Amino acid sequence: MIRDGVDAKTVAVLRQEFGSEQAIYYGLDRRAGIAFGSISKLDGESGLAPRDAFITDLKTKEMVRISNGRTRPDPTQFTSMTFSNGHLVWVETDSDNLSASNWVMYAYELGPGGQIRGGHTVELARAPDVGVKPVPMAAGSTVPRISGSEVYFAAVSAVRKNKNETSAYRVPLDGSSKMSLFERDVDGVFADDDWVYFGRGDDLLRRSVRAGSKAEPVAAMDSIRSFCGGAFAHGMFVACSNRARTQNLKIFDTKDNLIADIDVGENSISASTLDITSDLVAFDIVSGMGSRIHRYVFDVHSGRLSLLSKKNVNTIASGSGRIQQLRVQPEKGIAESFEFVEILA
């Protein structure tokens, strides 16, 4: 089991409530010295009313609202956020229904010297016009993936005979030009360095971001009997594989070489909870007909598999190459706070 002070250390404790507003943290990047998330108004009738995206300086604890470039009223909710290359990219919607929402994607570039102040927000993309209002959301939501100076994402590109067609798009990180089609007929998108990965039917494909490239199959899929989800990051492909009554988690490098094969027995792997850093893979194992969920961290270099403490309530793969735990700390007489704990396993 991961032990505080030995396998993990606290790297930041940040407030959650600010008067009539509440912060929801999406992630932390130690190299940039920031945490980021959304802030909402505490509404007695409806709970939380989202207002802004924000960035917090880990040293000074200063919070800066960054939705100054928004081109419409406050959103209903924020669906995803990611940080890389000095830019925070997020998606917000105007609907409570995530299966159909007129989403808009924004990016905030940090100020001079990586300061949280002095930057600017630009609109990157918005839901394509497919002749249906509101626009259907891509399966698994539209999640931005930053690769170099571009953002890749999946979005519904057409609706034909009540069937949604999803395509992969890309847009410059600085918003200098409009979103453009990258690949048609895809299921989900992952961008990792010079490669973009996506599903198509029962196949898993990848395509180089270089001009003139074509999609090619991921050879590692040949060793997976029944694919049950996966993720790509930091030069690794992590895949869930069904095998009779059991499931395995297979980890491959960029050359499709098998690094590790983790057998979880008759338990289930929650592929949607996969987090990958440069040397760690975190995932949930569900047992007891869904009644018990345990979080594990696998060290790719040492081969060590560790169970996380039950008091860790969430994990975030940070840009600093470490898994971050997010724990809620009740405080006497004042608001709760969030504790970011870095896993050192």
Nearest to 109 by CA among 34, 173, 26: 173
Cα distance between residue 114 and residue 112, in whole Å: 5
pLDDT at position 150 is: 95
Round to whole Å and give the CA distance between 109 and 186: 29
Tell me: pLDDT of 214 over 90. yes
- Token pair, residue 271, equals 């592929």
pLDDT in tens, 252-267: 987 889 999 999 888 8
Angstrom distance (rounded) from CA 36 to CA 216? 35
Q: Are 79 and 91 in contact (CB under 8 A)?
A: yes
Place of tokens 């200063």: 62
| Cα distance between the two ends of the chain | 10
Q: What is the pTM of this model?
A: 0.83
Q: Which two tokens stand for residue 244?
A: 């009779």
In which residue are the tokens 């999406």 written?
26
For residue 142 the two structure tokens come to 């539209």
Closest by CA to 323, choosing from 336, 308, 302, is 308
Residue 4: pLDDT band (50, 70, 90) is low
Tens-place pLDDT, residues 268-311 = 888 777 888 777 888 888 876 666 778 888 888 888 888 876 55
Say if residues 33 and 58 touch (Cβ distance below 8 Å). yes
pLDDT for residue 252: 92
**pLDDT tens profile 125-157:** 998 888 887 787 776 678 899 988 999 999 999
Nearest to 132 by CA among 161, 92, 168, 170: 161
Single out the residue of 203, 234, 212, 215 nearest to residue 319, CA to CA.
234
Distance CA(159)–CA(108), nearest Å, equals: 31
Task: Mark 15-26 as b/e (b = at least 16 C-beta within 10 Å).
Answer: bbeeeebbbbbb
> 140 versus 50: which is more confidently predicted?
50
pLDDT of 132: 80
What mean pLDDT value characterizes the chain? 80
Tell me the backbone φ, ψ of residue 124, rounded to 5 degrees.
-95, -45
Kindly report the CA angle at 46 between 40 and 50, in degrees rounded to 5?
20
pLDDT tens digit string along 106-118?
A: 999 999 999 999 9
Contact 103, 142 (CB under 8 A): yes
- Provide mean pLDDT across the span 233-241: 86
